[in-house]
Structure 1
């Protein structure tokens, strides 16, 4: 059995994609935007689903409500970055 996180480190990730990643696309002259990524360990035997609103949203949605609904607890890893319109 792999150690905790080994599959993530090696890219041998098993599971279902709930939504594809779409890169940030800040509008011109809108300044910097902060993006955050949080990684949660999925509880055993807990199916995670997205609501129709979460599935199509490119903006913020109720992360706290989502975390509580699926009993995700605290993130096991996180990162954030700033970006702005690519020509500025």
Structure 2
């Protein structure tokens, strides 16, 4: 489990589920069994579930890297891996995420402000590389 500053984003019981690993939210991904490589090259997007989602609302889901390209030099902070909008709460509760996938360059803070998204209802993070740098 992540602790200290690394656990800053861990709130709201958001589940990020990968094959063989289960929920990696607020976790450090181990090197064993090539998990780190498999996350980025083999498994693709994880299953994301938020059991507390309001069935009558729509949600925005972002997967960003807060310290890209590395923890020592995060010059591309909040690098966007993917962004899905208009996800029905009922689907997010079950992990059946369907919505509009957006692409293009971006600044996360500007996007949140422009679309008046407010504060996150849940967030998590996990580390795959550079755990100690």
Shorter-normalised TM-score: what interval? 0.3 to 0.5
The structure with the largest strand share of the pair is 2
* Higher RCO by CA contacts (8 Å cutoff, separation 6 or greater): 1
Larger Rg: 1
Question: What TM-score do you get using the length of structure 2 for normalisation?
Answer: 0.28
